[in-house]
Amino acid sequence: MQTLQRQIRQARMVTITEVGKVEKALENYNAENLDSDTPGVEEIPARVETNMEGAHGLVDQEHKGLVIVHIPLVVDHLKEKYGDKQALIDELLGKLHSARARSSRLEEKQLPVKFTVEVQKHVQRQNPRYEQGNAWDTSNLPAAAKVYIKSELKKMADEPNADVNDQPDEVTMKPENDDHNEQPRQQALQPQQRQQD
């Protein structure tokens, strides 16, 4: 109870002090030594509001101009660079396959969080299957994700109305060493063809 009373007294003192500061500032502002062109306290909010309305109008005009000019340019650039969706997907898969951790720190090696939940689940399903023959490391992640993405794309191409969350085909991973200086690369074997019902 005493601490509460002390806090109330302190808050009251702070409030009184701040009110005094505001009154002192208003007295200084209304002093006789100010220019005659200096606006009064009541005029300042009105001027700020008027200026804000004009600024909003200018910003809206510039925004409309940027949208009209820049969006078509961006769309044209993307169409020129990636004429079809498959080229974009192939480039992204290539970047994914060549992804490497920037350092040996654990945070840099935790790549799965950068993928969707479906890809993470697929990689987790592949981990025990791969460990039967070789050790699983982060270089296997891009290969497993690539296999999953390609199988999903194939499903979508085969069945236009298929659900994207369907389980992917079973795949196996095969290690392939190119050189002693390079990290082992993993090659994903194509999924076995499903038997037609």
What average pLDDT score do residues 151-157 get? 83
For residue range 168-193, list pLDDT tens digits in order: 444 444 444 444 433 333 333 333 33
Please tell me the pTM assigned to this model: 0.27
Show the tokens assigned to 161. Answer: 């109305």
Q: Tell me, what's the pLDDT at 184?
A: 37
Q: Provide φ and ψ at 178, rounded to 5°.
A: -95, -40
Q: Tell me, what's the pLDDT at 27?
A: 75
Show the tokens assigned to 93. Answer: 């898969």
For residue range 103-134, list pLDDT tens digits in order: 666 655 566 666 777 777 777 777 666 656 66
* H or E stretch covering 173: strand 173-176
Residue type, 124: Q
> Rounded distance, CA 151 to CA 148, Å?
5
Q: Tell me, what's the pLDDT at 34?
A: 62
What average pLDDT score do residues 43-72 get? 79
39: left (phi over 0), alpha (psi -120 to 50) or beta: beta
For residue range 130-153, list pLDDT tens digits in order: 656 665 566 667 777 788 888 888
The distance of Cα 133 from the centroid of its chain, to the nearest Å, equals 36
Q: Which residue ranges make up each domain of the chain?
A: 85-177+184-188
